[in-house]
Amino acid sequence: MTTARYNRVTFGEVATFATTAPSSLNSMTHIPAIDPAAPSVVQSFDEGNETAGDGSMSVKYPTAKDATWELTARVYTGDKSIASSGTDATSAYLWKLIDSYFGMAADTSGAGTTVASGTGSAPVMTLITGINAGNALMFGGSGTDGSVRFVAAVSGSTVTPDDTIDTAADFAAAAEVYSAFNWAPVMGAYAPHVYFNWEGADHQWLVGPGKITSFKLSGLAAREGCRYAMGFSGDTYAGGFTSGTFTPNAYTGSPLVSVGATCNINGTDTAVGDFEIDFGVKHEPVTATSGTNGRAGWEITEVAPTGSFTEYYASGRWTQYAAATSIPLRFVIPVSTSGHVAKAKGTIAVWFPNCNLTVEEAVLNGQRAQKVSFQAKRPTAAQQANSVVSPVYFSVFGGT
């Protein structure tokens, strides 16, 4: 007998759906999944019963295979930021899996800059190269905890943040401006695919090629650990392998918790007891005439993010609900350390430029409250004119 507690999960990215599957000779990357179950592997069959003269059933024949998996992991931080000086982070925690989900390689082209001049609503950068609408920036002045904002517009060397920067030191001349790993869903197909290798105590499964087809932020009740909850869809499965070489989890900073997390609702930082986010990117298989299972990969066909949060009673939220008012939302979860230097090495941020709300009565800590569900919509015409074109933007500050 062997213990069911032995679970090792590694993954590897391949260039295309048709690229040869990894083997024990390839370098895989370890994912510290939390209590993972084995992947779900399904063999489908043609079970049609052929007629005969004896009333018995005929044999079945194998057809297509499918493989799916649900994995949850803490959100670890790194030891480097993307700043105007020093050695920049070049990878983020599980970034290749996030690439797979959003259908794009992370945008890190904003290589870090500083504030030259300006105001909290229009800071001027010393270097604007690579900073695009939808990117997240962390402004960090001397002695501050930093201010995270998304870029709502770029004009010359001036950026318009999604909300005014309140801390004067964060937009003062020479304040640090940290860049992030930035994602927004891209419709269509993304060439790279992913394989997962699961090692149990007595056998292994290799599943793929496939895509991360669901992605949620969970565990966001105040003081709890933040989680990446990911779902994987693979074309097929085979016996796996004992990894001869793999890269251990290199992100050894403190995992994120939602202590100190902020929810900015229509420009106002709001205390919330909990929140959850489903990025809502829909992947569909691409039908093909070749391949054992009739697939040639997956592509993104729809983006419909949703989420919810619980806040103390605010009458204005009911007004917004009744009038179907469209508002922006920004969530920021920093590493539980004060100071922008540390936070720039471990913070995640999500921006929904244009949302509709649904509100219902709730209780929070024994006090009158409300649960707010939101649905991210197409950005407004004015936002689109400034190149804000996605209903959701996700950013990670810090890595290795």
pTM, full prediction: 0.95
Whether 238 has a pLDDT exceeding 70, the answer reads yes
Mean pLDDT on 171-182: 97
* DSSP calls for 19-35: SPPP-TTS-EEE--BSS
Mean pLDDT rounded to a whole number for the chain: 93
Q: Judge whether 256 and 77 are in contact, CB under 8 Å.
A: yes
Q: How confident is the model at residue 375 (pLDDT cuts 50, 70, 90)?
A: very high
Whether 206 has a pLDDT exceeding 80, the answer reads yes
CA distance 309 to 261: 12
Whether 222 has a pLDDT exceeding 70, the answer reads no
Mean pLDDT on 30-47: 93
What pLDDT is attached to residue 207?
97
E strand segments, 162-203: 176-178, 181-183, 188-189, 193-199
Beta 272-278 vs 306-312: how paired, if at all? antiparallel
Q: How many CB atoms lie within 10 A of CB 316?
A: 11
Whether 173 has a pLDDT exceeding 90, the answer reads yes
What pLDDT is attached to residue 67?
95
Whether 320 has a pLDDT exceeding 80, the answer reads yes
Whether 361 has a pLDDT exceeding 70, the answer reads yes
Mean pLDDT on 305-316: 95
Lowest mean pLDDT among 55-59, 219-223, 325-329, 371-375: 219-223
Those residues with Cβ within 8 angstroms of residue 44's Cβ, 6 or more apart along the chain or in another chain: 62, 63, 64, 65, 66
What pLDDT is attached to residue 292?
76
Q: How confident is the model at residue 43 (pLDDT cuts 50, 70, 90)?
A: very high
Whether 1 has a pLDDT exceeding 60, the answer reads no
Percentage of residues in the chain with pLDDT exceeding 90? 80
Percentage of residues in the chain with pLDDT exceeding 70? 99
Q: Judge whether 139 and 175 are in contact, CB under 8 Å.
A: yes
Sheet holding 295-303, edge to edge: 188-189, 295-303, 281-287
Whether 246 has a pLDDT exceeding 80, the answer reads no
